[in-house]
Amino acid sequence: MLLHYQRRLLLNLCRQTVSISNDIQSVYHSENSKTIQIRHVTSNTPIKKRILLKINTVLNEAEYLIGTQNNSDVTSISCLNNELILSERMVKFPFHYRCLLEQQLAICQDRWVTNDEWQELYNIVGETTKPIFGSVTMLVCVQLKHIERGRSLYEFIQGRYPALLTSTSTTYTAFMNLLALDFFSLSGKKHGQDYSLHEKEICDVYEKCVRDKKQSIVASTAALGIIKGLCVTRLWHEAYSYLPFTNDDDQLQAMTEVCLAALHNDDIDTAIKLVKNFKNPPPSDSAAATISSVLSDMIRDMFRNLNEKNEKSYEFIQHLFQYLSTLDYFIEKSAIDEIKTFFSKYTSNVFNHGITMVYPNGVCKQLPGFSLTSGDLTDDEFKYLLDYLKETAYTEKEVYNTATPIEFEKLQAVLARNKFTMIVDGLNILYGIDRFATDPVSSMVKTINFLKNLRVSRAQMLFIARKHALSRIPHDIQRDLRSTCEVFLVDNTSRDDWFVLYAALYSRAYVLTSDILRKERGISSKSTPAKDTQVNDKLQKWLYRYQYMFVRQANQTFFKPPMAYKLRAQYKDNVWLIPYFSEKPQSLGQRPDNWFFVYKTSDYKPTSPLTPKHQSAKESFSVKQEKQSLDIEGKKLMDNWWTSFCILVLYAILSHSQTNIPLTEPKLTSITAVNSTALTVTWVFANATYDQSDLIRITIKFYEFYYNYGPVNTSISYTFTATNKTITSFTRNFDLVNAFYYVCLSSNSTNVNASSPLVKTTCLLERTCSRANSSICSQIPFVIISNGASSSNSLNININWLKQLPYTQNGATVQLINNSATGTLSTSTENNTYVIQTYQFSSLQSNTSYTAYIIVNYTIFGGILTDAINYTISTSRASNIFSTGDSFIFMICSMFLVFSIY
């Protein structure tokens, strides 16, 4: 009988299907059970050996199960109700037993286990496991949160093997920990009244096993279990005496438990004292060192147990946020949701809170006039990091895979020669932009084009890579690279990342890379850990401020700009701002996209951004208010006309300096079809003598669609952030031929002295050229102009609107430039392709050319657009051939004919 069981049973350790002989009659799968049940196994010993052989392979114990050894330890297959427990050989050693039991119980529901069942399990474990049977099993129950199973285990040990409780403290301290699980995560508890449902059991264990024991022999893990147990009872104050026995790894968790107990019992003063002594950072998740689930859970539980009616609650919150401001770790959205719930309990006039986005320059979108603290590094911090790099460069172990003295001297010479503003991690970009390993030439060409679009001069850009990066690149492409930037190649055995980091720090330049410096920060390599947490903190701060993170998504390549602000919780101008992740990050390079803010309405008055005209009015009003206050202060001061004059002049100067900061946006000038598949977007910056924007960010978004084609494809194909204003165009190729493109250019112009950024979005519509002839391009994308019926004194002009496209017609205007006559809409018909509107002109001169100025208006994707075109059309000749002109020509011809006869 083939038994294929896909659940995470104990059998999954070997990842194989177990074959059981037909001799086993009582093996069955219960539909109501999540596990395989085994009852009354009557199979012979060789069959049992084959079963265990499959499982023991992972433990390298197969040699003891081969053959027909009569002295084998394989004596039985036991059953703990519906939970499969195998032979003594499998559970002979404590580590094996814990791993197997952990895997076994992970798929089982928590339940009360009888003493006989525990006795059966105890009987088959190895002799080395029996002395610590209780502690190991209890720890598994704590890990899986099996409270009922743990309670039954403690009763079994207490009744049948009480010596196990005195031989080690792990069993009863883990039991106290188990009974206290998730208490502070519960909602709706009454402060100082509700305690754990297992309070009596915890106190009994504490009285019998802990209280009278000498505290000097309590280990850190045991002390943590005692603290957790006591904190959910009325004896929570006694947890203080066990805090000194926790080591650095357990100290934050232990202090957090006591702090939660103090909050639950509404003892805010004690909670404040504890939070002020939080020193250690929380453990970080393995997926991303910048996020901590432990920290998120801690913040969530603290706000869940904090009494909003206590007048000192906000004081506690400020100390808690102050602790967050010392960390480079971020919390998750679940914690922010709990904070928002807490503040929503207050009346609306006490606190104001919300979520804001932050621009790259640190300006908060939802807090007008407010910007985050600058994230620039100090001279001492740059020196600290450079010294650290020098210390790790020439250690005996790393002399060949980091840097050699000769290479380092060459790098110093290059850095001394030029003042670089951009350092490029060459191999990182080459492998990121395309398949450099299989197609190095194409990858290099794309990289060169990408670097050219950065618009950084050759003398200011340094490209660093290993020598093999250019070994398969033709010389002409290498020349193109060297004409774009300076190139510095290191030996193939050296670590180019170290050179990139040193060059960027030495030059205080930006770095273009998607690397997050795992090794330098001691994240992934235990053999070369970071010097200490200061190195990690400073490198993280530097990355946020100076890294242009290269990103490739689908077929698009762009970079995330560095952030000018401090990426930590911070308190500024009476406002607390807390960064958080709305979704769990997938890599270390991700950054929080949202900030939670809160402030007392009495401490902070947000102001809306004003135009220069409004600002001037406000400033002049302030002068009047100042003058009135001076009147109230005393007549003597106002008698001093010189003082009053100086005050007015001072206000005028301040008003001028605050209102004349010209911010301008780049103007979208044209969208030009290059051929049947390409467009060029062109924009222009304001005159440099007028524009004072410190930083301008441009994002170009393309809406791509096709006539009668299907859905609209949306993509952001270009993102540019810089202080220079030399890039003024962008060309992109598309997959569709002769398609339509709604192109939106969004700009964000900022100045450090301006209260808010200038954000503008301008959109235009264009269509690429004809497939048959790439030089034939549409002047008005949605409209085709054609001649209608005409005569010697009238004209008809047809405006053909394309159908089955995502836009709405708003009308058109047709006017003749020659005589300013406006056409009249005479008819409107349609076919399968067009809506045809005919505009008629009358009382015109025959055989005359007219130029029509045509304006079409339409709405697309919520935007109203207008296109204009000049169109030339002519009236026909008059039907009477003896008109004045024709008669004169006929007379001349007739006279010539008569004279020629004679």
Question: How confident is the model at residue 476, as a pLDDT?
Answer: 94
Q: List the chain residues with pLDDT less than 70.
A: 1-92, 214-217, 284-290, 347-348, 392-403, 516-533, 552-558, 586-589, 604-664, 687-692, 694, 706-718, 720-725, 751-756, 771-776, 778-779, 878-902
Q: Quick: pLDDT tens for 100-151.
A: 788 778 778 899 999 988 998 888 787 888 899 999 999 999 999 999 999 9
pLDDT at 556: 64
User: What's the pLDDT at 752?
Assistant: 56
The answer to whether residues 465 and 496 touch, using CB atoms and an 8 Å cutoff, is yes
Query: What is the rounded distance in angstroms from the CA atom of residue 224 to the CA atom of residue 215?
Result: 13
Counted residue by residue, the chain has a size of 902
Residue 416 CB-density burial (10 A; 0-12 exposed, 13-18 middle, 19+ buried): exposed
Which residues are CB-neighbours of 636 under 8 A, at least 6 positions away? none
715-751 confidence digits (pLDDT tens): 666 676 666 667 788 888 877 777 888 888 888 777 6
CB-based contacts of 206, cutoff 8 Å, min separation 6: 176, 226, 229, 230, 235
Q: How many CB atoms lie within 10 A of CB 762?
A: 16
What per-residue string of b and e applies to 825-844 under the rule 16 or more CB within 10 Å gives b? Answer: eeeeeeeeebebbbbbbeeb
CA 383, 389, 393, 395 dihedral sign is positive
End-to-end CA distance of the chain: 128
In this prediction, residue 180 carries a pLDDT of 94
Take residue 612 and report the two structure tokens written for it: 């220069």
Could you give the CA distance from residue 98 to residue 134 in angstroms, rounded to a whole number? 11
* CB-based contact 780:814 (threshold 8 Å): no
Q: How far apart, in whole angstroms, are the C-alpha atoms of residue 302 and residue 341?
A: 12
Secondary-structure percent of the chain, ordered helix, strand, coil, rounded to 5: 40, 25, 40
Q: Residue 455, by phi and psi: left (phi above 0), alpha (psi -120 to 50) or beta?
A: left
